[in-house]
Structure 1
């Protein structure tokens, strides 16, 4: 195997190559984020609880307490509607520009700006806890994060650096490895969040230790990305290979077909792209976009409602249980990584995507009928491959575009996901409020339907690609 074909993360233990690792930034940012997410929910819940408690009767009946719980749920839901709108819309003003600057000038621009925004946002929650500010100030904090690019600019920058540092044949595995690091970090942060929140008890100091740790991790991520992180050299294409993959089999081929020993055979067919092949690539990218967006609608809607769902009856979780529940969601990062590690040896990319969509759709359907804590964890276990679709779609797209366009294309995808996520969050929260007294699992049923619906465009991609793959000898 040639030296330019192996992944940098496979042999980085010498010299300054360690500085090209994006994983420390991902890990510290995600620990900060998981602590922040848990802290935000608990702080907002405590704020609305204290407001309701001031006017409630200590001898209130069970029905009155149930009514107060529903009112609190609606208040938290309304807060998150506005919060998610601000978080999703403000990056539209800056994320694409940061992606363009990253492609044109320096790859770290979008990552550094986004981590700065994360630090400001986490600091806003810390100040709210310390000074007992109203929860509305958190809208301004998340707006600052969005104006710095938000998650859209950050994650597109991470994916661009990850794609640059790895050859095409290993890219799905490389990107899911980054997701694995994110998942492990999120798991650790979520497991600790409930305990950290309870360490300092008091009206204004509730959650002080938790939010302080979140700010510290966000500060580390910013300084590491500024002063330590280096951009890896591109090894995605050899010097004389045309910078785009013009065959569908190149996109959906198994890792055996991406073996460097096969590159000589593939070079013979990589002449200038004909208009028909360019049209095919654009069609495939469009279908992948549609599949990613529809699937993300299902995932975002489920995650948004799930946090509220576990706080009310029949589960009625406390702070520690909430932290454990959030941590269970990060186990999916580990199981999805293992899934890609195994499935990539036997299945096409499109098959792995469909497996992930079926996994999430089935788990969401079971989640709609959860009455006990153990059934919640069973539903989460069924979702074990839910992370595979979006990551594999990004990998497939990267094989169809030039490496100089990674930043722009990834940020466009991320902005599409963010924009549709804003719509989804608002819609799901309203549906949740309307069905709160009837069937609280309605949103999960809708998510299950959307997840299976997302299989349709991916199935079309698979149908278009399989005949060509078989003709070119992809499967042996």
Structure 2
């Protein structure tokens, strides 16, 4: 007699487990976001380009009009990013608290509602030719619903709940892989969709309509289909050397649930050596923020950089360029699978930081399109640091605190993004005529600087293992 007949509920339980997967929500939301990001940039280029030409004399050279357009787009993004980053601060924390106290889906569902409203704002702007400033109100509504901070902290919480500590980093990087694949597909199609409707009036209508459709699917799926996974209980055991190595999430095998070879029961640590969590969390926070400073600066300036000389990309090339940024989600996932066989978390984090810093350094001197893609290729492990830092932090806190802690981390990164975006946009305006790669050079320096706190974490871990006095280590 087969297992199906002995367990008639097995099929139902399997279907129920599938309904706990957060990946369909992540994929559809990211397709909507990638279409929206490209659409907003191209709509800005068209709208502000027309506005700049109307306010300039007919004798103005092409380069002067391009510079005016670049400054107008940069100034728009400064205000847009301020609204995006500041409006979710209180709502996101409240939603995280409500998710911990009442229901895990609260932050995700409310945030997805805000994302849908924001995408509708761009659709209405294209459809009825509203002024571009209406997008400030649209992204403000998104922020009041928690924005990316509430959404992504909810995703990380659900992803962490259904996975064991050993498998958690693999689980979270897999979610990032799905996000990257969805973003790649959306960005590849975005330039073509923007040109789908002929005529200047409704150009971009097909793209924005597809973005709204994907955001609507994500919201309906999260409301009607998605179920909260059952938490995988943490084993109750006295602190051992394996617990300390779990602080930074060591990887020894592709089956992380197997005990670490260095784990030896019966060797509890002294109280002084059993209190590394607070200092580790602070150092991980510092490393994440410094690295985020570097990443945000590059990502924010890059769309402006590719629109002007020497690259001067068209609509389809802009879509392809944005798609290239999502390749790192695939390569970072493969990197974790390979590096986890022989490296600890701290080593993998530093590899990712070196990867991004090297790519940003090459971007400083890009003059041709092929050089841009080579620089992007050097960033192939750039996603590993923040994802691995999140995984390491999840092993140091209780399940009931996931919502609040992940929201605090996400809000810290959001505040960093707001400050960095404003600073880099202003710096870009000041240096684009003298040395357009200044922002990328600064990002490269910050990426290498972020290695310092992670290196301290690695040194602390090595010191704890040394003083634990375990045979064979």
Q: Deviations over 1:389-447 (max 9, x none)?
A: 00000001011111111111111000000001100000000000000110010000000
Equivalent residue, structure 1, for 2:301: 305
Distance 1:152 1:120, change over 3 A: same
Q: Deviations over 1:23-73 (max 9, x none)?
A: 000000000000000000000110011112335566x47xx1101100100
Greater mean deviation of Cα atoms: 71-80 or 243-252: 243-252
Equivalent residue, structure 1, for 2:336: 340
1:165-180, aligned counterparts within 5 Å? Answer: 165-180=162-177
178, 181, 200: which one pairs with 1:181? Answer: 178
Q: Deviations over 1:181-225 (max 9, x none)?
A: 000000000000000000113333010000000000000000000
SS at match of 1:256: coil
Q: Deviations over 1:100-127 (max 9, x none)?
A: 1111111111100110000000000000
Equivalent residue, structure 2, for 1:139: 136
Shift of 1:280: 1.8
Alpha-carbon contact 1:253-1:469 (below 8 Å) kept: no
Shift of 1:451: 0.2
Query: TM-score if structure 2 supplies the norm length?
Result: 0.92
Distance in 1, Cα, partners of 2:176 & 2:239: 26
Please, what is the CA RMSD of the aligned residues?
Answer: 2.4
1:115-154, aligned counterparts within 5 Å? Answer: 115-154=112-151
Equivalent residue, structure 1, for 2:427: 431
Distance in 1, Cα, partners of 2:191 & 2:470: 53
Distance in 2, Cα, partners of 1:135 & 1:351: 45
What is the aligned residue count? 461
Distance in 2, Cα, partners of 1:125 & 1:151: 17
Distance 1:386 1:261, change over 3 A: closer
Distance in 2, Cα, partners of 1:475 & 1:37: 52
Distance in 2, Cα, partners of 1:110 & 1:396: 22
Query: TM-score if structure 1 supplies the norm length?
Result: 0.92
Q: Deviations over 1:440-473 (max 9, x none)?
A: 1000000000000000000000000013235466
Equivalent residue, structure 2, for 1:194: 191
445, 449, 452: which one pairs with 2:448? Answer: 452
Q: Does 1:386 pair with 2:382?
A: yes
Equivalent residue, structure 1, for 2:312: 316
Distance in 1, Cα, partners of 2:30 & 2:363: 25
Alpha-carbon contact 1:249-1:468 (below 8 Å) kept: no
Distance 1:356 1:372, change over 3 A: same
Distance 1:285 1:450, change over 3 A: same
Q: Deviations over 1:243-292 (max 9, x none)?
A: 99994312235333884453899695698x97635642100000000000
Equivalent residue, structure 1, for 2:8: none
Alpha-carbon contact 2:39-2:194 (below 8 Å) kept: yes
Equivalent residue, structure 1, for 2:82: 85
Equivalent residue, structure 2, for 1:208: 205
Equivalent residue, structure 2, for 1:15: 15
Distance 1:204 1:237, change over 3 A: same
SS at match of 2:87: helix
Distance 1:269 1:123, change over 3 A: farther
Equivalent residue, structure 2, for 1:5: none
1:335-414, aligned counterparts within 5 Å? Answer: 335-414=331-410
Distance in 2, Cα, partners of 1:348 & 1:12: 39
SS at match of 2:110: helix
Q: Does 1:285 pair with 2:281?
A: yes
Distance in 1, Cα, partners of 2:241 & 2:182: 34
Distance in 2, Cα, partners of 1:22 & 1:472: 42
In structure 2, runs of 5+ residues without a counterpart are 1-10
Distance 1:74 1:244, change over 3 A: farther
Distance 1:286 1:98, change over 3 A: same
Distance in 2, Cα, partners of 1:55 & 1:29: 38
Alpha-carbon contact 1:253-1:349 (below 8 Å) kept: yes
Q: Does 1:221 pair with 2:218?
A: yes
Distance 1:54 1:290, change over 3 A: same
Distance in 2, Cα, partners of 1:472 & 1:361: 37
Distance in 1, Cα, partners of 2:471 & 2:63: 60
In structure 1, runs of 5+ residues without a counterpart are 1-10
Distance 1:13 1:189, change over 3 A: farther
Equivalent residue, structure 2, for 1:34: 34
